[in-house]
A and B are shown apart, each in its own frame.
Chain A
């Protein structure tokens, strides 16, 4: 069964600290992996998309990694800010469908405190 598992479920960190969120997936065939940020009461917003051949991708203070062999991804947030408080969702797309086979993780809720 195609699944995306995220850990931890929730995380609290102090402003300025770094953190890493994890994503494991069992989706096949694999097309690409996405990380979305979802602020409370808003729709998800894309942070990164990585295809099979990419193992690192950065977007400002966000760096995503992908290990397609072990089917694991991580999202590293550097020098966290209060505005980073949100849910971070890992999404895996299956290869042979144009965006319809998106398998969503349940998300990691990050709280950044001052």
Chain B
């Protein structure tokens, strides 16, 4: 069955370190998204991509970057991790057909100490 996976599921890192969170989908979806989820907030969009070599900034993109070298993967990189980036991160993908249903991965819980 097609699916979307994220790794690692849990990560503890130190302030200032570079961290990369992986997202892999087997639906062959063109559209992929990264969100963060924090207490007291709805999910917030970090970056998104409409296809290979396409990337766009979302609402809370500062301190994050993504690259899209193939259809299946959209890794999220924290260039220099900060305590404010402690959060649960979700990757999602969707096809290009209205109403653009999004399918979410299981999430990565990141703690920056």
Contact = CB atoms under 8 A, between A and B. Distances in A.
Interface of A: 4, 31-32, 41-46, 49, 51, 89, 93, 98-100, 102-107
A32 B98 CA distance: 10
A99 B43 CA distance: 14
Interface stretch (B14-22, B65-73, B99-107): B99-107
Interface in B73-113: 90, 92, 94, 96, 99-107
Interface residues of B, number: 25
Contacts of A51: 99
Contacts of B96: 98
Contacts of B102: 46, 99, 102
Contacts of B94: 99
A4, A43, A45, A106: most-surrounded residue (chain B CB, <10 A): A43
B59 to A, nearest CB: 10
Interface of B: 31, 33, 40-45, 48, 50, 56, 58, 90, 92, 94, 96, 99-107
The dominant DSSP class at the A interface is: strand
A105 B42 contact: yes
26 contacts: A4-B42, A31-B99, A41-B106, A41-B107, A43-B105, A43-B106, A44-B90, A44-B104, A46-B101, A46-B102, A51-B99, A89-B42, A89-B43, A93-B99, A93-B100, A98-B50, A98-B100, A99-B33, A100-B33, A100-B45, A100-B56, A100-B58, A102-B43, A104-B44, A105-B42, A106-B42
B48 A106 contact: no
Contact of A100 (B48, B90, B105): B48
A4 B33 CA distance: 20
A20 B30 CA distance: 35
